[in-house]
Structure 1
Amino acid sequence: MALRISGLASGMDTETMVKELMTAHRIPLDKITQKKQYTEWQRDDYRTVNRSLNDFRNLTNDSMLRQSTFIKKTVTSSAPDDVSVKNINSTSDFSGKINVEKLAESATMQSKDRVLASEANLKDILPATADDFIISSINADGTLEEYNVVITEGKSTMQSVLDDINKNSGVNAFFDSFTGKIAFTAKYSGDIKDDTVEPPTYGSEIEFIGNEANFAFLKVEVNNTVAAKNGSGTKGQNAMFTYNGLTTERQSNTFQISGFEISLKQANQKEITFSSAPDVDSILGSVTKFVDEYNKLIEDLNTQIRETKYKDYQPLTEKEKESLSEEQIKKWDEKATSGTLKNDSIITSVLNKMRSAMSSAVGKSPNSISLSQLGITTSSNYLENGKLTIDETKLREAISEDPNQVYELFAAGGETDSDKGIARRLTKALEDARKSITAKAGSESATVNNNFVLGRLLDGYDNQVKRFEDRLATMESRYWKQFTSMEKAIQQANSQSTYLAGMFSTGS
Structure 2
Amino acid sequence: MRIGGLASGIDTDSIIKQLMQVERQPLDRFFQRKQTVEWQRDAYRDMNLKLRTLEESASNIRLRSSLNTRVAQSSNEQMFTVTANASVQSGTYQFKVDQVATRTKNISTDAISSGSEKFSTSKKFNEQNGAIGDVAGYNGDQFTIKTYNSSGVAKEVTITVDTSKSLNDMMKKINDSDVGVRAYYDAAFDRVVLERKDSGEFNGEEVNGENRQIIFGGDTGFLNNVLKVEQGNEQSGVNAVVQFKNPVFGEETITVDNSRSNRITIGGMTFDVKEPTGGEFQSVTVSSNTDDAFDKIKAFVDSYNEIISEINIAISEPRYRDFPPLTDEQRRELSEREAEMWDEKAKSGLLRRDPILSSVLTQMRNDLYTPVATSGQFNQIAQIGITTTSNFRDGGLLEIDETKLRAALQDDPDSVHQLLNSVASTELTTVPKNSRTAEQRREIESQTGLVGRLRSTINDSINQIIGRAGNENRTNQQFTLGRELISVDSQIDNFQRRLAQIEQRYWQQFTRMEQAVNQANAQGNALMSQLMGGM
The answer to whether residue 503 in structure 2 is matched with residue 476 in structure 1 is yes
Question: Separation in 2 of the partners of 1:149 and 1:19?
Answer: 92
- Secondary structure at the aligned position of 1:75 is classed as strand
Question: Alpha-carbon deviation of 1:409?
Answer: 2.4
CA, structure 1 residues 125+420, in 2 after alignment: closer, same or farther (shift >3 Å)?
closer
Question: Separation in 2 of the partners of 1:78 and 1:32?
Answer: 76
CA, structure 1 residues 354+189, in 2 after alignment: closer, same or farther (shift >3 Å)?
closer
Asked if structure 2 preserves the Cα contact closer than 8 Å seen for 1:189 and 1:237, the reply is yes
CA, structure 1 residues 453+192, in 2 after alignment: closer, same or farther (shift >3 Å)?
closer
Question: Separation in 2 of the partners of 1:313 and 1:151?
Answer: 87
Match of 1:320 among 313, 330, 349: 330
- 2:6 partner amino acid: L
Show the 5 A alignment for 1:346-361.
Answer: 346-361=356-371
- 2:217 partner amino acid: I
Number of the residue aligned with 2:298: 288
Q: Deviations over 1:462-502 (max 9, x none)?
A: 23222221221111110011111122222233333334444
Match of 2:469 among 422, 441, 447: 441
Show the 5 A alignment for 1:41-190.
Answer: 41-60=39-58, 62-71=59-68, 73-87=70-84, 91-93=87-89, 96-116=93-113, 117-119=115-117, 121-127=120-126, 128=136, 129-131=138-140, 132-137=142-147, 145-149=155-159, 154=164, 156-166=165-175, 170-190=180-200
Number of the residue aligned with 1:255: 264
Asked if structure 1 preserves the Cα contact closer than 8 Å seen for 2:223 and 2:230, the reply is no
Question: Alpha-carbon deviation of 1:216?
Answer: 5.5
Show the 5 A alignment for 1:153-232.
Answer: 154=164, 156-166=165-175, 170-192=180-202, 203-215=211-223, 218-223=226-231, 226-228=232-234
More divergent stretch after superposition (117-126 vs 313-322): 117-126
Number of the residue aligned with 1:264: 273
Question: Separation in 1 of the partners of 2:445 and 2:191?
Answer: 70
Which consecutive unaligned segments of at least 5 residues does structure 1 have? 229-233
Question: Separation in 2 of the partners of 1:65 and 1:102?
Answer: 37
Question: Separation in 2 of the partners of 1:469 and 1:343?
Answer: 34
Asked if structure 2 preserves the Cα contact closer than 8 Å seen for 1:85 and 1:261, the reply is yes
Show the 5 A alignment for 1:423-434.
Answer: 423-434=451-462
Q: Deviations over 1:93-132 (max 9, x none)?
A: 4874332222222233333444344436433322343445
The answer to whether residue 408 in structure 2 is matched with residue 398 in structure 1 is yes
The number of equivalent residue pairs is 489
Question: Separation in 2 of the partners of 1:338 and 1:326?
Answer: 19
Asked if structure 2 preserves the Cα contact closer than 8 Å seen for 1:47 and 1:444, the reply is no
- 1:241 partner amino acid: V
- Secondary structure at the aligned position of 1:81 is classed as coil
- Secondary structure at the aligned position of 1:468 is classed as helix
Question: Separation in 2 of the partners of 1:112 and 1:425?
Answer: 63
More divergent stretch after superposition (171-180 vs 369-378): 171-180
The percent of aligned pairs where both chains have the same amino acid is 32
Asked if structure 2 preserves the Cα contact closer than 8 Å seen for 1:109 and 1:184, the reply is yes
Asked if structure 1 preserves the Cα contact closer than 8 Å seen for 2:79 and 2:275, the reply is yes
The answer to whether residue 252 in structure 2 is matched with residue 242 in structure 1 is no
Question: Separation in 1 of the partners of 2:143 and 2:416?
Answer: 58
CA, structure 1 residues 98+178, in 2 after alignment: closer, same or farther (shift >3 Å)?
closer
More divergent stretch after superposition (464-473 vs 25-34): 464-473
The two structures, once aligned, show a CA RMSD in angstroms of 3.3
Number of the residue aligned with 1:231: none
- 1:236 partner amino acid: G
CA, structure 1 residues 325+404, in 2 after alignment: closer, same or farther (shift >3 Å)?
same
Number of the residue aligned with 1:13: 11
TM-score norm. by structure 2 comes to: 0.80
Asked if structure 2 preserves the Cα contact closer than 8 Å seen for 1:86 and 1:261, the reply is yes
- Secondary structure at the aligned position of 1:203 is classed as strand
Q: Deviations over 1:12-63 (max 9, x none)?
A: 2212221221111101110121012111211221222223223323432x24
Question: Alpha-carbon deviation of 1:313?
Answer: 2.2
- 1:77 partner amino acid: S
Number of the residue aligned with 1:22: 20
Asked if structure 2 preserves the Cα contact closer than 8 Å seen for 1:350 and 1:430, the reply is yes
Asked if structure 2 preserves the Cα contact closer than 8 Å seen for 1:130 and 1:217, the reply is no
The answer to whether residue 450 in structure 2 is matched with residue 422 in structure 1 is yes
- Secondary structure at the aligned position of 2:194 is classed as strand
Number of the residue aligned with 2:392: 382
Asked if structure 1 preserves the Cα contact closer than 8 Å seen for 2:97 and 2:279, the reply is yes
- 2:19 partner amino acid: L
CA, structure 1 residues 147+327, in 2 after alignment: closer, same or farther (shift >3 Å)?
farther
Question: Alpha-carbon deviation of 1:136?
Answer: 3.4
TM-score norm. by structure 1 comes to: 0.84
Question: Alpha-carbon deviation of 1:138?
Answer: 6.5
Question: Alpha-carbon deviation of 1:272?
Answer: 1.8
Number of the residue aligned with 1:37: 35
Match of 2:319 among 309, 319, 322: 309
Question: Separation in 1 of the partners of 2:153 and 2:444?
Answer: 48
Asked if structure 1 preserves the Cα contact closer than 8 Å seen for 2:418 and 2:449, the reply is yes
Asked if structure 2 preserves the Cα contact closer than 8 Å seen for 1:192 and 1:203, the reply is no
- 2:77 partner amino acid: P
